[in-house]
């Protein structure tokens, strides 16, 4: 019986980054549209990457093939 290689989830590949110390980073939500009504401070916060929540790490790592 042949072993099938696990494929990386292409959606996860585009949305998550792995840092050099194996931490997972993601983009902020709400930062891509309806920006006219948002404060500049708020929009500046959206630019920063955030940590992936601890409850989601297992699933994200699985999708990334880690």
Domain ranges of the chain: 10-63
Structure tokens at 54: 């601890």
pLDDT in tens, 26-64: 999 999 999 999 999 999 999 999 999 999 999 999 999
CATH architecture of 10-63: Irregular (4.10)
- Phi and psi for 40 in degrees, rounded to 5? -65, -30
Confidence bin at 11 (pLDDT 50/70/90): very high
Find all residues with CB under 8 Å of 1, minimum gap 6, and list them. none
What pTM was estimated for this model as a whole? 0.77
Contact criterion met (CB below 8 Å) for 4 and 59:
no
């Amino acid at each position: 019986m042949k072993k099938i290689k696990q494929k990386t989830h292409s959606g996860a590949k585009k949305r998550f980054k792995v840092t050099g110390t194996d931490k997972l980073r993601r983009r902020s939500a709400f930062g891509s549209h309806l920006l006219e009504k948002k404060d500049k401070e708020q929009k500046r916060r959206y630019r920063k990457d955030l940590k992936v929540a601890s409850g989601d790490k297992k699933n994200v790592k699985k999708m990334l093939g880690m």
